[in-house]
């Protein structure tokens, strides 16, 4: 089995095509620019859509239309072509931790997004999986029927570690059920700290570096997580919210660094809410070291909307807000271990992703250094 795979990113991605069908309307005639600037005002302002239309980026019923005042007819097929752009730098090599006919577990590096979204449409784990499958099919003269692996959960772009992907429909369905079962038990009044890990078919354990000194050796956080409106995030930002969905994180302190004013922790999550560990640790006043977004209380550091220079991107879209957004990196969080009831083989497997040095305990770092020195000595003797 290969240990790593990945192809370097091209300078520009392929752009995107967004399709629409103009619906029946009882209102007055609708122009092309009115349709786009109203329905997709979060993508670009009116001036931006005028620019896109005049650039020839929009087709109506298979023809490029550059007149923004063109009246749309019921049933017209619209296509907006977003221009190719250079996505921000991102790593591309992925380590294979486990693979069989049903599953593949990857060690995702920090800085790589899992699925397309926002400014990252090509530089994602999914793209590398697609390229890998295409390469395998080519090498077997197109005879390979291996299904395309698909991630069954997400890790934040700045989070590293184990990413589980399904290679069969049955595995995908059962793994989705495992994750759903873990989340559905949160909030059960009969559940106690001792129940954590009982009757669950998947367990995820993370390492994180939290700011400040956590006094207790063990902390269980049950703060619900919900959405709030936030500039630069179209669907809203996940934050600590009394009206949100239940979430549970069990935090164990591994080491305290008084001089550095930080705490190394291991976190087991039963639910899988977006950015759960970042939100929960910040909620108790110990945000992740380097987290650009979440502050004490589980809320964002900044709510004021600020644009880069007030201008538009090349194709008329808004400039990226200067506020931090969820995909920003800089924090230290690693999906370290995963214990899983195999979805088809009926056995329990444990997968481990090697720790970044900054998330190792002093004993682990010393053991690694000793092992390295031993290997060096053996090589010299040979």
334: helix, coil or strand? strand
C-alpha distances in Å from residue 226, one per residue of 121, 273, 292: 26, 9, 19
Q: Which residues, 6 or more positions from 86, have their beta carbon under 8 angstroms from its beta carbon?
A: 11, 12, 13
What is the rounded distance in angstroms from the CA atom of residue 137 to the CA atom of residue 131? 10
Task: Indicate whether 202 and 101 sit together in one domain.
Answer: yes
What is the rounded distance in angstroms from the CA atom of residue 124 to the CA atom of residue 318? 22
Taking only the tens of pLDDT, the chain with its 382 residues reads 568 999 999 999 999 999 999 987 656 789 999 999 999 988 889 999 999 999 999 999 999 999 999 999 999 999 999 999 999 999 999 999 999 999 999 999 999 999 998 889 999 999 999 999 998 888 776 555 667 899 999 899 999 999 999 999 999 999 988 888 766 556 554 444 434 444 678 999 999 999 999 999 999 999 999 999 988 787 899 999 999 999 999 999 999 999 999 999 999 997 789 999 999 999 999 999 999 999 999 999 876 444 444 455 667 776 666 788 899 999 999 999 999 999 999 899 999 999 999 999 999 988 877 766 566 555 545 5
Task: Indicate whether 286 and 153 sit together in one domain.
Answer: yes
Task: Indicate whether 216 and 326 sit together in one domain.
Answer: yes
Say if 11 falls within a structural domain.
no
CATH number, residue 29? 3.10.290.10
Question: Contact at 8 Å (CB) between 164 and 204?
Answer: no
C-alpha distances in Å from residue 29, one per residue of 25, 34, 244, 379: 8, 10, 41, 79
What is the rounded distance in angstroms from the CA atom of residue 256 to the CA atom of residue 263? 5
Task: Indicate whether 77 and 202 sit together in one domain.
Answer: no
Q: What integer pLDDT is reported at residue 190 of this predicted model?
A: 40
Q: Which residues, 6 or more positions from 360, have their beta carbon under 8 angstroms from its beta carbon?
A: 368
CATH number, residue 208? 3.30.2350.10
Say if 375 falls within a structural domain.
no
Q: What integer pLDDT is reported at residue 346 of this predicted model?
A: 86
Q: What integer pLDDT is reported at residue 201 of this predicted model?
A: 86
Say if 3 falls within a structural domain.
no
Say if 318 falls within a structural domain.
yes
In angstroms, how far is the first alpha carbon of the chain from the final one? 28
**Domain C-terminal end among 82, 107, 130:** 82
Say if 8 falls within a structural domain.
no
Q: Which residues face 295 on adjacent strands? A: 299
Task: Indicate whether 63 and 179 sit together in one domain.
Answer: no
**Domain C-terminal end among 61, 82, 103:** 82
Burial (CB count within 10 angstroms: exposed 0-12, middle 13-18, buried 19+), residue 354: middle
Task: Compute, in degrees rounded to 10, the torsion defined by CA atoms 271, 277, 278, 281.
Answer: 120
Question: Contact at 8 Å (CB) between 88 and 119?
Answer: yes
Closest CA to 106 of 125, 121, 87: 125
Query: What is the domain extent for residue 117?
Result: 94-188+198-359
Say if 366 falls within a structural domain.
no
Task: Indicate whether 78 and 159 sit together in one domain.
Answer: no
Task: Indicate whether 103 and 42 sit together in one domain.
Answer: no
Q: What integer pLDDT is reported at residue 215 of this predicted model?
A: 97
Q: What integer pLDDT is reported at residue 378 of this predicted model?
A: 59
The phi, psi pair for 146, rounded to 5°, reads -65, 125
Closest CA to 201 of 224, 221, 218, 185: 185
Task: Indicate whether 343 and 315 sit together in one domain.
Answer: yes
Say if 88 falls within a structural domain.
no
Task: Indicate whether 43 and 162 sit together in one domain.
Answer: no
What is the rounded distance in angstroms from the CA atom of residue 91 to the CA atom of residue 57? 30
pTM of the entire predicted model: 0.86
Say if 66 falls within a structural domain.
yes
Strands 333-341 and 160-166 come out as parallel
Total number of domains constituting the chain: 2
The phi, psi pair for 95, rounded to 5°, reads -95, 135
Task: Indicate whether 48 and 114 sit together in one domain.
Answer: no
Task: Indicate whether 69 and 114 sit together in one domain.
Answer: no
Task: Indicate whether 175 and 296 sit together in one domain.
Answer: yes
């Amino acid at each position: 089995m290969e240990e790593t795979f990945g192809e370097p990113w091209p300078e520009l991605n392929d752009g995107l095509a967004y399709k629409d069908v103009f619906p029946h309307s009882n209102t007055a005639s609708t122009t092309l620019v009115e349709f786009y600037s109203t329905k997709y005002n979060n993508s670009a302002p009116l001036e931006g859509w005028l620019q896109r239309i005049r650039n020839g980026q929009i087709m109506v019923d298979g023809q490029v239309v550059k007149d923004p005042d063109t009246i749309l007819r019921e049933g017209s097929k619209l296509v907006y072509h977003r221009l190719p752009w250079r996505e921000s730098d991102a790593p591309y090599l992925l380590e294979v931790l486990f693979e069989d006919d049903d599953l593949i577990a990857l060690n995702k590096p920090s800085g790589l997004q899992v699925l397309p979204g926002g400014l990252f449409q090509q530089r994602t784990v999914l793209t590398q999986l697609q390229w890998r499958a295409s390469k395998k099919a080519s090498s077997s003269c197109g005879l390979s029927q291996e299904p395309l692996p698909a991630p069954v959960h997400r890790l934040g772009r700045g989070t590293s570690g184990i990413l589980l992907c399904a290679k069969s429909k049955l595995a995908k369905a059962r793994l989705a059920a495992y994750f759903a079962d873990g989340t559905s038990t949160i909030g059960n009044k009969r559940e106690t700290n001792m129940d954590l890990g009982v009757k669950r078919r998947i367990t995820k354990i993370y390492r994180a570096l939290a700011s400040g000194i956590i006094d207790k050796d063990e902390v269980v956080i049950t703060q619900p997580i919900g959405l709030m409106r936030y500039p630069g995030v179209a669907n809203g930002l996940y934050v600590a919210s009394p009206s949100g969905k239940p979430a549970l994180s069990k935090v164990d302190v591994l080491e305290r660094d008084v001089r550095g004013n930080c705490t190394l922790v291991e976190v087991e999550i039963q639910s899988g809410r977006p950015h759960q560990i970042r939100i929960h640790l910040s909620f108790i006043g110990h945000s992740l070291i380097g987290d650009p977004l979440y502050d004490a209380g589980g809320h964002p550091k900044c709510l004021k909307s600020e644009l880069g220079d007030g201008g538009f991107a090349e194709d008329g879209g808004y400039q990226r807000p200067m506020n931090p957004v969820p995909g920003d990196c800089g924090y230290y969080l690693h999906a370290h271990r995963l214990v899983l009831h195999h979805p088809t083989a009926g056995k329990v497997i444990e997968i481990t992703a090697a720790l970044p040095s900054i998330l190792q305990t002093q004993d682990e770092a010393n053991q690694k250094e000793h092992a390295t020195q031993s290997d060096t000595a053996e090589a010299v003797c040979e």
